Amino acid sequence: MSAPRQQITMQEIANTTGVTVASLGRQNMPVAELDARELDAIRRVWYYGLEHLRKVSPTIYADIARQDKLVIEFAKVAKAILSVVKKNYQFPSVPGSLGVSWLFPQAIGYKVDNMVGATGYSANSWDIPITAGTKAYILGSDTAWFKTSSVTEKRHCILILENGLIEYGTTPSAEQFRLVSEAKQDFGIYTVEPLVDVQLEYGKAIYQYPTPNGALFVDYQTGVRWYFMPKRTGTMTLKLLGLVFYEHDFASDVKWIA
């Protein structure tokens, strides 16, 4: 009987799931298999979020729901990265297990012991202060790469889904973006088509930014910078649709960043 496979390539993940993936110079990723109870836990979280998204925006729901296989593949990757000592996913998580949740602000702008998440977001919110003509950061900063927590028993990884950048407000704020990593720093910008400022659904001030590089998985090993050029000054509410995978102690209770 052959041993369980230990690695998968980013291209294989894209081929298997039908979703473009931003590899950013990373080729091989570790992988760990999931048992039936883990799959059930992950799918429970995934589907309760999707059902609410369907009520809010059927258009965005259709784009996000097709990425169910991607979620499972990166749950396997995250398990391999997080399980220094073997742990399994549970929902809700318990001590000694791994947890999974939809992304929330304190998983991006986190503070764990002496580690902090470098980001342009205001603490505990999806709001980014912006100034026209000055770079604004989704992940990272001018001086720091964004990495997830590497603190023992409080590690986490994030997955931002393809086309999972959703702005809520009266006026879309950006057209030019750049995404690079410590392993791939020579990429230039990408832009979105001009009609991104048209509301997706009548009467709802919701705008979706395409992510041509694909879905983005971030861990504590390879840092990323993701920023844009604002075309107005004010505050941008930019919500990230995705999941966070974590050791239980990362989110054993509700979080607030002081």
Q: Which of 118, 35, 25, 63 is nearest to 242 (CA)?
A: 63
pLDDT range class, residue 58, cuts 50, 70, 90: very high
| Domain-located, residue 209 | yes
- How confident is the model at residue 171, as a pLDDT? 79
Q: Which of 238, 233, 184 is nearest to 211 (CA)?
A: 238
Query: What total of structural domains would you count in the chain?
Result: 1
Segment 8-27 shows an average pLDDT of: 97
The mean predicted confidence, pLDDT, of the chain is: 94
Query: HSE of 222 in the Cβ direction (CA atoms, 13 Å)?
Result: 18
- How confident is the model at residue 1, as a pLDDT? 37
| Domain-located, residue 255 | no
| Domain-located, residue 204 | yes
Q: Which two tokens stand for residue 69?
A: 């296989």
| Domain-located, residue 24 | yes
Is 60 exceeded by the pLDDT of residue 164? Answer: yes
| Domain-located, residue 103 | yes
| Domain-located, residue 258 | no
Give the structural domain span for 57. Answer: 7-249
Segment 77-93 shows an average pLDDT of: 93
Is 50 exceeded by the pLDDT of residue 110? Answer: yes
As a whole number of angstroms, the distance between CA 228 and CA 136 comes to 6
Largest CA-CA distance found in the chain, in angstroms, rounded = 61
| Domain-located, residue 25 | yes
Q: Is the peptide bond before 92 cis (omega within 30 degrees of 0)?
A: yes
Is 70 exceeded by the pLDDT of residue 23? Answer: yes
| Domain-located, residue 76 | yes
